[in-house]
Amino acid sequence: MELRLSLFGIKRSIDLSRLARYRNTVVVLASALLVIPLTVWLLRPAAVPDLAHGNVAGARALVTGWTKGDMIVLVRHVERCDHSTAACLIGNDGITDRSRSVAVSVGAQFEHLGLDRADIYNSPVMRTAQTAGYMFNKVGVDEDWLVHCRGSMLRDALAHKVAGRNLILVTHSECMAQLEKDLKLPTDTLGYGASLFITAEKLQAPRMLGFIEASDWHSVTTE
């Protein structure tokens, strides 16, 4: 079949049978261009859930796991002084004076969950020690694994987890990101004082539950 065209006296012909031969190839290529991005999107790791802002199912799972003593939570230190223009609490390597109230507020939320069956550790860096002191009235020492955590955060956390007791780790954003990597999840930098919750009901198969930013605890609801 041939298509004849004439424009301004110029005549051309197109062999449609030749185009038809390539039709299937064109269709396959076009389909691939659509399917490949869709497949990548579907197979990408799921984002870490936000347990606040009306995530009732997530908040209920947190309370249930906490009651059983199945939780591991990584808490990021509050605002560091050397990254802020705000007044320091004590020393340039610690937290800001204004962030004390944030630490106390987050600590009250954990007190509400219950700390009678919780083991609390913090990295030896000044900002995490100060954060732990204001959050939990407890400061640990010599927990270098909570700052030197590259490639080992999940393993070390599980090694310190005691059955039937929750584990609270006051640490750094890099260690929180490492734990997400260990669980094969996309990494994100959470804010100062944020909490990242992992359920370890089965130590051999820990899973991410979600996160709560320091300022979002008021929006956490189980109703």
Cα 23 to Cα 32, 34, 83, 123, 192, distances in angstroms? 14, 17, 60, 63, 57
pLDDT value, residue 145: 96
User: Between 100 and 5, where is the model more confident?
Assistant: 100
At 158, the pLDDT band (50, 70, 90 cuts) reads: very high
Q: Are residues 162 and 118 in the same domain?
A: yes
* Same domain flag for 18 and 101: no
Q: Which residues lie closer than 8 Å to 221 by C-beta, 6 or more apart?
A: 54, 56, 59
> Which phi and psi angles does 170 have, rounded to 5°?
-90, 115
Q: Which two tokens stand for residue 189?
A: 């930098």
Q: Are residues 20 and 63 in the same domain?
A: no
Q: From CA 135, how far away is CA 95, in angstroms rounded? A: 13
| Sign of the torsion angle spanned by Cα atoms 209, 65, 75, 152 | negative
CATH of the domain at 172: 3.40.50.1240
Q: Which of 43-57, 100-114, 147-161, 194-208 has the lowest mean pLDDT?
A: 43-57
Looking at the structure, do residues 199 and 115 belong to the same domain, yes or no?
yes
Q: Does 49 map to a domain? A: no
Could you tell me the residue range of the domain that residue 13 belongs to?
Answer: 2-43
Confidence of residue 222 (pLDDT cuts 50, 70, 90): confident
Q: Which residue has the tokens 């987890």?
A: 161
Element (H, E) at 131: helix 126-136
